[in-house]
Structure formats: structure tokens, C-alpha cells
């Protein structure tokens, strides 16, 4: 009996490793990382995990320049919007435990909240119409500390009514998640970092994650600045001093700690199983295609088995992706201003390596530069075999996207001719003449090209 058990265990272990022997995985992952270093000057760290065990980790480049400090897999870096996955998790759990209700009026917990008719659910589903951070620059001196309550009070003065484009029900909202984190603090009577630490970080062995202090001078560890390469020189593309709003961003962690956070979802250890399933099954909006943004703030495939989320802020980029079926997780952080499409491809390539697949070559089209005054020329209907019908319309010089009759969402222009739909996690760009343009679509889950369709014929007379 003992011999049979050992044989069965050996077979299981061999089967688990068959997809990517350690030496082959190491060599393949090194090639993927080196390609990004060569093309972009990538500085950062990568960690790949299977069954909770690290199978690959590597750090390259510098966490700080002049004086130079190398990146390590334990270097804490700005995680950007990955903080939303922590905030969404604790709000979801407190609601499940009856500590709060998602249908509570926001003003029940936040008297300074500017919109009396809104609920907590609207804070964590991007349905609140709150302004983004740049709207407040005139309200605060450079470097002046600004916390969430300050921003909510300024909103009441500056934007007393929610601001959303007609036909848009979900607009990516950072301040909504900051407000939700403040609700958690008021319910718990302590800082949200302490709640995260007790509930998640300590049990999961996540030792280096922390909510940033407002002042750079109060940093608990050497601070990792953000940079951008321009020609042969590296210039600052950094965070701002004085930010005290936590919940949507401003959480710092290493690639190793983000991998542990993703692994907790991959292995179902982050919260009770039924609670996790309910959070992943609840969509934030109708995406119109198979992938969806869930109530736990992860973009997931149709089966809710493969999920990811991104943090991007100035020079910083962070990504976590996990696969419950394969029990695999990848995470990386960077402070070197990666190009948008490079990030999605890098994530896909690392996922392929981890699964023992050869990364799929991908074309890199030279995208049209679409000036604000030319955007209406690219509005129209496009069809991609992988995604279906994509309708792009223009209003007040801004573009909007609707996929297969799903919710209408905003497109945001980013450098290099790219537009981003954060509610759908789709990167878009155009090539060719505007009236016959090809629409190129990229995401962690999708690589697709869409053909422009003729405008529908008007009614006959």
C-alpha cells in the first residue's frame, strides 16, 4: 500500500511539472524578460508561481537612479489600481458579514459625501460620476496633503452633481474606491491597512505590502521612484508628494507579495469558497463579450477561472494574473513606463511560459496618430471574428465603445495612437485610411483585428 501511494504521488508530481520543466521554464521566461528589456529598458521584477510555490523569479534594472539601487523581487513599487482588488475584497466580505450593506446610502457612513442619492454599491462599481484626481489641482497647493475626505469636500464645491456622459452608466472611478475604503475605516474604527493586514496580509504571508504615507519623507522603506526613458536619458515620471487617499491606489508591494495575493485567489484561500464564487460571478457591467469585470475588481474570462488586474500610474506598472484551473499565478512590477501594448503582450507571454506553451508571435502595427479633431472620422461599426460587433461613436471630441450591445463605455486617449477602455480592459488603435480603417484590439485575453463595416443605409424616400 505504501509503495502504491508513493507511486501515485510521484505520478502526480511528474504530471504537475510536465507542462514546463524547471530548466525549460527558466530559459523561456528569461527570453521573454530579456526581450522586454531590449525593447523598452524594462526595470522591475517578475514572479511566477504554481501551487503556491515560486517556479521563477527575476529582477532587472534599477529601482532608483543616482544613486543607483538595483531592483529585487522584494522591492516595493507602486501598485496603482491593484489596490482596488484589496478594497473590493474587504467591502464584499463586510457586506457578506452584515457589517455594512452595499445598498446603504453613502452618506450614512460618509456625511461629507457629495451625492446624497448614491449607495455604497455605486462606489465600488464605477457608477458614481465622481471627478478624477486632476480636477483638484487648483484646490491644493503643490505637495499639500490631500486625503479622501478632503477630496470629497472639494467635490461638493467643484462638482455638486455627478458627471457622466449620456448613455454611460459605468465610468472608471478612482475616488469611488477611495471613498469605499474610507467607509471601511469608519465601520472598523481603524486604518484600512490594519484591516487588510489582519484579514489578508498576515494569514497569506504578504509581508511587504503597505499603504503609502502621505509624505515621501515618512516612507518606511527606500522609496522606488518612477522613470521614463526619452532617447538615451531617463527622466522622472514619478508619484506625487502629499497623497493620503487610499483605496483606489497608493498601495506599494513587491512582485513577490503581489504573486502571493494572486495565488490566494488561484488556490481559493483568500476568503470562504462560496463568498469568493459569488464575488466572481457578479459582474460590474455588461461587457458585451466573454470577459467581464467582476465585483471583486478582477477582469475574468467567461468561466471565471482566469483573472487579472492591472495597476498603471505615471512610470509605474503592475500586473497580477491567476488561473484557478492550472493553479498558476504571475505577477510583475515596473517603474520604467512601459508602452500599453507591451504590457498586455508581456502578461500573455509569461502566462504561456508558465503553462509550458511557446509564446505566440504578435505583430506590432504602426498605429495612426488620431488627433482630437479627427476622432469623428474613426467612429463607426467594426467587426472582429473573435469579439463580434464593436460600435465606436463620438461625442464632444471623445470616443465611446459598445461591444455587441453591451454597456457603452468611454475610451481614453493614451500615447502612441492608443485608446483604452478601462471598464472593458481593451486597448484599441487604428491603421489605414479612416474611412476603411482596421481596428486593432489588444488585452490580456484578446488579440484581434476588426474590419470597418459600411455605414448602414439611410431610410429610402
Q: How many CB atoms lie within 10 A of CB 92?
A: 22
pLDDT of residue 459: 55
pLDDT of residue 364: 83
- What number of residues does the chain have? 461
Whose grid coordinates read 471565471? 304
* Cα 265 from Cα 89, distance rounded (Å): 11
CB 174, CB 422: distance < 8 Å? no
* Cα 130 from Cα 355, distance rounded (Å): 41
CB 382, CB 373: distance < 8 Å? no
For 193, the 3-state DSSP assignment is helix
Interacting residues of 20 by C-beta distance below 8 A, sequence separation 6+: 28, 55, 353, 354, 355, 356
Measured over the CA atoms of residue 451, residue 289, residue 87 and residue 306, the dihedral's sign is: negative
pLDDT of residue 362: 86
Alpha carbon of residue 417 to chain centroid: 20
* Cα 247 from Cα 313, distance rounded (Å): 14
* Cα 276 from Cα 274, distance rounded (Å): 5
For the chain, the straight-line distance linking the first and the last C-alpha, in angstroms and rounded, comes to: 85
Whose grid coordinates read 510583475? 332
pLDDT of residue 458: 61
pLDDT of residue 456: 78
The CATH code for residues 80-354 is 3.40.710.10
CB 344, CB 427: distance < 8 Å? yes
All structural domains of the chain with their residue ranges = 80-354, 372-452
* pLDDT profile of the chain (461 residues), mean per 10: 32 40 93 96 98 97 97 98 98 98 98 96 97 93 93 95 92 97 98 98 98 97 96 95 97 98 98 98 97 98 97 97 98 95 95 95 90 95 97 95 97 93 97 97 96 78 45
| Nearest residue to 88 via CA among 180, 153, 165 | 180
pLDDT of residue 363: 81
Alpha carbon distances (Å) from 99 to 128, 190, 200, 272, 295: 22, 14, 17, 16, 18
For residue 30, what is the DSSP state?
H
152 burial level (CB within 10 Å; 0-12, 13-18, 19+): buried
Element counts in the chain: helices (H) and strands (E)? 13, 23
| Nearest residue to 412 via CA among 427, 434, 390, 395 | 427
Q: How many CB atoms lie within 10 A of CB 275?
A: 17
Interacting residues of 45 by C-beta distance below 8 A, sequence separation 6+: 57, 58, 59, 60, 71, 72, 73, 75, 77, 254, 255, 256, 332, 333
For residue 9, what is the DSSP state?
H
pTM of the model: 0.93
How do strand 398-403 and strand 409-410 relate by DSSP bridges?
antiparallel
Alpha carbon distances (Å) from 221 to 75, 209, 217: 9, 11, 10
Buried b (16+ CB within 10 A) or exposed e, 58-81: bbbbbbbeeeeeebebbbbbbbbb
Interacting residues of 190 by C-beta distance below 8 A, sequence separation 6+: none
**Long-range pairs, 359-363, Cβ under 8 A, ≥24:** 359/28, 359/32, 360/447, 362/447
Amino acid at each position: 500500500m505504501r509503495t502504491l501511494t508513493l507511486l501515485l504521488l510521484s505520478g502526480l508530481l511528474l504530471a504537475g511539472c510536465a507542462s514546463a520543466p524547471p530548466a525549460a521554464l527558466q530559459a523561456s521566461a528569461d527570453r521573454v524578460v530579456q526581450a522586454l528589456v531590449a525593447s523598452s529598458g524594462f526595470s522591475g521584477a517578475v514572479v511566477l508561481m504554481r501551487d503556491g510555490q515560486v517556479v521563477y523569479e527575476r529582477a532587472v534594472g534599477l529601482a532608483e537612479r543616482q544613486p543607483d539601487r538595483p531592483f529585487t523581487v522584494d522591492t516595493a513599487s507602486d501598485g496603482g489600481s491593484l489596490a482596488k482588488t484589496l478594497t473590493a475584497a474587504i467591502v464584499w466580505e463586510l457586506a457578506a458579514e452584515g457589517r455594512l450593506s452595499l445598498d446603504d446610502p453613502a452618506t450614512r457612513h460618509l456625511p461629507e459625501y457629495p451625492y446624497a442619492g448614491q449607495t455604497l454599491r455605486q462606489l465600488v462599481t464605477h457608477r458614481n460620476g465622481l471627478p478624477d484626481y486632476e480636477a483638484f489641482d487648483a484646490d491644493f497647493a503643490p505637495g499639500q496633503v490631500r486625503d479622501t475626505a478632503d477630496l470629497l469636500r472639494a467635490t461638493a464645491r467643484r462638482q455638486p452633481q455627478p458627471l457622466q456622459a449620456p448613455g454611460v452608466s459605468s465610468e472608471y472611478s478612482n475616488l469611488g474606491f477611495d471613498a469605499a475604503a474610507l467607509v471601511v475605516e469608519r465601520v472598523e474604527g481603524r486604518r484600512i491597512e490594519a484591516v487588510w493586514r489582519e484579514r489578508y496580509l498576515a494569514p497569506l504571508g504578504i509581508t511587504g505590502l503597505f499603504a503609502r504615507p502621505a509624505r515621501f519623507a515618512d516612507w518606511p522603506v527606500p522609496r522606488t521612484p518612477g522613470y521614463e526613458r526619452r532617447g538615451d536619458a531617463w527622466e522622472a515620471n514619478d508619484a506625487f508628494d502629499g497623497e493620503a487617499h487610499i483605496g483606489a491606489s497608493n498601495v506599494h508591494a513587491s512582485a513577490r507579495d503581489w504573486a502571493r495575493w494572486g495565488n490566494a485567489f488561484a488556490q481559493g484561500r483568500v476568503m470562504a469558497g462560496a463568498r469568493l464564487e459569488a464575488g466572481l460571478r457578479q459582474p460590474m457591467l455588461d461587457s458585451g463579450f466573454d470577459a467581464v469585470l467582476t465585483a471583486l475588481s478582477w477582469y475574468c474570462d467567461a468561466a471565471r477561472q482566469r483573472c487579472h488586474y492591472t495597476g498603471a500610474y505615471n512610470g509605474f506598472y503592475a500586473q497580477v494574473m491567476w488561473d484557478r484551473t492550472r493553479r498558476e499565478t504571475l505577477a510583475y512590477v515596473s517603474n520604467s513606463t512601459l508602452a500599453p501594448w507591451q504590457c498586455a503582450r508581456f502578461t500573455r507571454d509569461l502566462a504561456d511560459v508558465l503553462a509550458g506553451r511557446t509564446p505566440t508571435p504578435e505583430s506590432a502595427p504602426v498605429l495612426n496618430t488620431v488627433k482630437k479633431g479627427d476622432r469623428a472620422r474613426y467612429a463607426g461599426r467594426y467587426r472582429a471574428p473573435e469579439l463580434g460587433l464593436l460600435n465606436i461613436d463620438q461625442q464632444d471630441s471623445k470616443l465611446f465603445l459598445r461591444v455587441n450591445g453591451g454597456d457603452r463605455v468611454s475610451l481614453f486617449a493614451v500615447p502612441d495612437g492608443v485608446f483604452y477602455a478601462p471598464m472593458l480592459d481593451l486597448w484599441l488603435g487604428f491603421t489605414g485610411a479612416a474611412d476603411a480603417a482596421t481596428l486593432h484590439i489588444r488585452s490580456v485575453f484578446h488579440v484581434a483585428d476588426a474590419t470597418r463595416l459600411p455605414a448602414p443605409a439611410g431610410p429610402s424616400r
